């Protein structure tokens, strides 16, 4: 149980386009979803926390207009990178936290974004 999927697993796009990444909890309801960004050879950096039905809380330095997060249901959150530029190229990982169960976070497999 406790499986989180991400789609797509990788994406290559042209500069200026927008890219949407989906994060789904497949077999549980997630009260909260987290979005992380990971640069090569670096640790995970929390970008934002989203609760179902409410606005996401962004970490300091993360542009909310650049990285749009929508947590539409208890099983789906989306991250849209708007007007992507090469510096947005990164590995994006989502995680979902369960109701109860010690508030455990379960991680998706990640999405590798390359902006040309």
Partner 1 sequence: AQKVTQAQTEISVVEKEDVTLDCVYETRDTTYYLFWYKQPPSGELVFLIRRNSFDEQNEISGRYSWNFQKSTSSFNFTITASQVVDSAVYFCALRDSNYQLIWGAGTKLIIKP
Residues at the site binding partner 1, with contacts judged by CB under 8 A:
32, 34, 38, 41-44, 46, 49, 91, 93, 97, 102-105, 107, 109-110, 112
Q: State the minimum distance, in angstroms, from the CB of residue 97 to partner 1.
A: 7
Q: State the minimum distance, in angstroms, from the CB of residue 55 to partner 1.
A: 17
Instruction: Give the span between the Cα atoms of 31 and 53, in whole angstroms.
Output: 10
Q: State the minimum distance, in angstroms, from the CB of residue 75 to partner 1.
A: 19
- DSSP assignment letter at 66: T
Q: Of the two residues 38 and 82, which places its CB atom closer to partner 1 in the complex? A: 38
Asked if 69 and 98 touch (Cβ cutoff 8 Å), the reply is no
Instruction: Give the span between the Cα atoms of 74 and 88, in whole angstroms.
Output: 27
């Amino acid at each position: 149980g406790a499986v989180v999927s991400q789609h797509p697993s990788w994406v290559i796009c042209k500069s200026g386009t927008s890219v949407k990444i989906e994060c789904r909890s497949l077999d549980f309801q997630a009260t909260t979803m987290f979005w992380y960004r990971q640069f090569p050879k670096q640790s995970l950096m929390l970008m934002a926390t989203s609760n179902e039905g409410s606005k996401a809380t962004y970490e300091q330095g993360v542009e909310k207009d650049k990285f749009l997060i929508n947590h539409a249901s208890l099983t789906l959150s989306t991250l849209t990178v708007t007007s992507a530029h090469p510096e947005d190229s990164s590995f994006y990982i989502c995680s979902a936290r369960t109701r109860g169960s010690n508030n455990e976070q379960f991680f998706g497999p990640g999405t590798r974004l390359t902006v040309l």
